[in-house]
C-alpha cells in the first residue's frame, strides 16, 4: 500500500491552485490521483477537435497564515517535472499560493530549463504535522525573481 503524505485538505488546496492556473492558461486541468503512476500534482490540457491535447505539467504548494512562498521542490519531484517536459516538449509549472494570491514558476518550457535555482539541504516539518526523517533533504531552491503572479 502506498503511504500518502497529502491529507484531503492538502488535496483540496492543490485542486484550487490547479483551477487558478488552468484559468490563467485558458485550459482545463486534471488533478493526479497520486497513486503510483505520476508523482506530480496534475496537468493541463485543451479540449480539441482531435481530443484532449496536453498543455503542461504541475506541482503545487499552498502557504497560508501570512507565510511567504518557500520556492523549493525536492530533487525527485523536480526531476519528474524535467523528465516529463523533456519527453513531451510541454512546459512544467511550480504553482503556489501566498496569502491572497497565487504565483507560479516556469520550471521548464518544453525546450529548456527556465528557472534559476540552487541546490541546498533544507526543509522542515509543517506546523501541526508529525515529523518524518526525510523532512530535511536536498531541495531545488528557486530564485524568487522567477515568480510570475496570477490573479486569484
**Domain assignment of residue 138, yes or no:** yes
- pTM assigned to the model: 0.85
Most confident segment among 63-72, 116-125, 138-147: 138-147
Q: Quick check: 5 pLDDT over 70?
A: no
**Domain assignment of residue 30, yes or no:** yes
**Domain assignment of residue 71, yes or no:** yes
**Domain assignment of residue 1, yes or no:** no
Q: What is the CATH number of the domain that holds 138?
A: 3.40.1350
**Domain assignment of residue 134, yes or no:** yes
**Domain assignment of residue 104, yes or no:** yes
DSSP string, 76-144: HHHHHHHHHHHHH---EEEEEEETTEEEEEEEE-SSSB-S-EEEEEEE---TTS---TTSEEEEEEE-G
**Domain assignment of residue 101, yes or no:** yes
What is the extent of the structural domain holding 111? Answer: 8-150
**Domain assignment of residue 140, yes or no:** yes
63 touches 96 (CB < 8 A):
yes
pLDDT in tens, 37-56: 667 999 999 987 777 899 99
Q: Count up the domains in the chain and report the number.
A: 1
Mean pLDDT in residue range 122-142: 75
Amino acid at each position: 500500500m502506498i503511504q500518502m503524505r497529502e491529507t484531503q485538505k492538502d488535496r483540496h488546496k492543490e485542486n484550487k491552485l490547479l483551477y487558478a492556473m488552468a484559468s490563467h492558461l485558458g485550459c482545463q486541468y486534471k488533478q493526479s490521483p497520486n497513486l503510483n503512476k505520476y508523482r506530480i500534482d496534475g496537468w493541463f490540457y485543451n479540449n480539441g477537435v482531435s481530443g484532449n491535447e496536453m498543455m503542461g505539467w504541475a506541482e503545487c504548494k499552498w502557504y497560508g497564515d501570512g507565510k511567504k512562498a518557500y520556492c523549493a521542490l525536492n530533487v525527485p519531484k523536480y526531476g519528474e517535472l524535467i523528465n516529463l517536459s523533456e519527453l513531451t516538449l510541454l512546459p512544467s509549472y511550480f504553482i503556489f499560493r501566498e496569502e491572497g494570491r497565487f504565483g507560479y514558476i516556469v520550471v521548464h518550457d518544453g525546450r529548456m530549463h527556465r528557472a534559476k535555482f540552487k541546490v541546498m539541504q533544507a526543509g522542515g516539518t509543517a506546523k501541526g504535522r508529525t515529523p518524518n526523517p526525510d523532512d530535511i533533504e536536498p531541495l531545488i531552491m528557486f530564485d524568487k525573481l522567477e515568480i510570475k503572479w496570477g490573479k486569484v
